[in-house]
């Protein structure tokens, strides 16, 4: 397959919580939603200096944010500075009545509507003051895997030391250019609904048609056991097919917003044919 470009999440993912909880952490039990105690915890977390927000802070944030009572703004969604749509959820103003909502109650609506979630310390804060944002892929991970860190299969594969003889790697920020050093077999096929469920396929399709100008985008799944993780989603555009001067790396990195935090994407290898690709719309139309 020659030279390949891989794109992975820009930030290293925190380790999953050790050991399964007896009940789902990110449950949908309405009797445990709309928790004012967690609202107070959320306000305290947002008061912490941003530079001091470590992995322990993130763990506490998710515990508080899932069921903590928050205010849904009117209008409920906005376009973030990154260009993606978000549901706006805020810690309520002190000493005021409000219609209580919570992320746990709205997460499935986010998936259906292709929007992320942004949490604010106050309903009065501007969009750029969001305290924490959750991409569509992270929300999907909370509901499907009971974790903000992604598919446990990907995480287990990523934890195994890499096969250093298979590739030479050039790293530039989130982009990896990998040159095959040792011939080996890979599997290529259509992504399953488990890997790319219809709601994420639909959101990705909308992004590729709107932002990349693709009329009928295609994708394919590559499984390469020398990679960490093994599976990568191939996007049906070659690097040579982008306009001159296009910010290709940033464009590819942005696709990860639609996928789980453990996923990887790669551009279509130059030697591939577009006829090999699976029509992305076939993964959500009629489902």
* Structure confidence by residue, pLDDT tens digits, 95-148: 899 999 999 999 999 999 999 999 999 999 999 999 999 999 999 999 999 999
pLDDT at 287: 74
Q: How many domains does the chain have?
A: 2
pLDDT reported for residue 176: 58
Residue 218 domain flag? yes
> What b/e sequence results for 67-83 when a residue is b if at least 16 CB atoms lie within 10 Å of its CB, and e otherwise?
bbbbbbbeeebeebeee
Task: Give pLDDT, residue 192.
Answer: 97
In this predicted structure, the answer to whether residue 3 has a pLDDT above a threshold of 50 is: no
- 188 with 232, same domain: the answer is yes
Domain boundary among 114, 145, 176: 145
Residue 127 shares a structural domain with residue 224: no
- Domain assignment of residue 208, yes or no: yes
Rg of the chain (C-alpha set): 20
Domain that holds residue 128: 30-145
Q: Comparing C-alpha atoms, which of 194, 192, 214, 195 is closest to residue 205?
A: 214
Judge whether residue 235 has pLDDT over 50.
yes
**Residue 20 within any structural domain of the chain:** no
pTM for the full model? 0.88
* Pair 52, 127 in one domain: yes
- Give the tokens for residue 24: 């789902």
Q: CB-based contacts of 212: which residues, under 8 Å, 6+ apart?
A: 237, 251
Q: Based on the domain organization, do 48 and 134 belong to the same domain?
A: yes
In a domain, 66, yes or no: yes
Tens digits of residue pLDDT in 55-78: 999 999 999 999 999 999 999 999
181 and 268 share one domain = yes
**3 state SS of 217:** coil
Q: Is residue 152 part of a domain?
A: no
**Residues 261 and 208 both lie in one domain:** yes
222/175 same-domain check: yes
Confidence label for 1 from pLDDT (cuts 50, 70 and 90): very low
| pLDDT tens-digit readout, 9-60 | 655 555 555 555 568 999 999 999 999 999 999 999 999 999 999 999 999 9
What is the pLDDT at residue 166? 65
Domain edge (last residue) among 145, 179, 212: 145
Residues 216, 151: Cα–Cα separation, whole Å: 28
CA distance 91 to 103: 12
What gap in Å lies between CA 196 and CA 169, rounded to an integer?
A: 27
Say if residues 130 and 80 touch (Cβ distance below 8 Å).
Answer: yes
What six digits make up the tokens of 219?
Answer: 């994708």
Q: What is the pLDDT of residue 2?
A: 45
Residues 178-197 have pLDDT tens digits of 566 667 788 999 999 999 99
Bridge partners (DSSP) of residue 189 are 221
The mean pLDDT value for 235-257 works out to: 97
pLDDT (average), residues 215-241:
96
273 and 167 part of one domain: yes
214 located within any domain: yes
Are 36 and 80 contained in the same domain? yes
What gap in Å lies between CA 36 and CA 21, rounded to an integer?
23
88 within some domain? yes
Percent of the chain with pLDDT over 70: 86
Q: Are residues 231 and 193 in the same domain?
A: yes
Q: What pLDDT is attached to residue 184?
A: 74
Q: Are residues 170 and 261 in the same domain?
A: yes
Evaluate whether residue 154 is within a structural domain.
no
Q: What is the mean pLDDT of the chain?
A: 91
Do 35 and 86 have their domain in common? yes
């Amino acid at each position: 397959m020659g030279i390949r470009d891989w794109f992975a999440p820009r930030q290293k993912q925190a380790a999953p919580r050790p050991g399964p909880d007896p009940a789902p952490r990110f449950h949908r039990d309405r009797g445990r939603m709309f928790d004012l105690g967690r609202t107070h915890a959320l306000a305290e977390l947002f008061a912490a200096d941003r530079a001091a927000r470590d992995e322990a802070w993130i763990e506490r944030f998710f515990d508080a944010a899932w069921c903590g009572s928050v205010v849904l703004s009117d209008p409920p969604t906005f376009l973030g500075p990154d260009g993606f749509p978000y549901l706006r959820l805020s810690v309520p103003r002190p000493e005021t009545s409000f219609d209580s909502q919570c992320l746990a109650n709205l997460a499935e609506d986010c998936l259906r509507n292709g929007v992320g979630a942004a949490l604010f310390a106050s309903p009065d804060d501007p969009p750029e003051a969001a305290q924490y944002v959750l991409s569509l892929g992270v929300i999907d991970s909370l509901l499907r895997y009971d974790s903000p860190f992604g598919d446990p299969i990907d995480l287990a594969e990523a934890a195994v030391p890499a096969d250093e003889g298979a590739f030479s790697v050039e790293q530039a920020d989130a982009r990896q250019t990998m040159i095959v050093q040792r011939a080996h077999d890979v599997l290529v096929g259509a992504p399953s609904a488990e890997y790319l469920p219809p709601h994420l396929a639909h959101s990705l399709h909308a992004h590729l048609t709107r932002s990349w100008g693709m009329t009928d985008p295609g994708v394919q799944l590559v499984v390469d056991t020398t990679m960490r993780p093994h599976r990568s989603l191939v996007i049906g555009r070659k690097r040579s097919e982008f306009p001159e001067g296009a910010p290709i790396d940033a464009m590819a990195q942005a696709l990860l917003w639609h996928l789980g935090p453990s996923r990887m994407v790669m551009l279509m290898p130059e030697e591939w044919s577009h006829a090999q690709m699976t029509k992305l719309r076939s993964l959500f139309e009629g489902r």
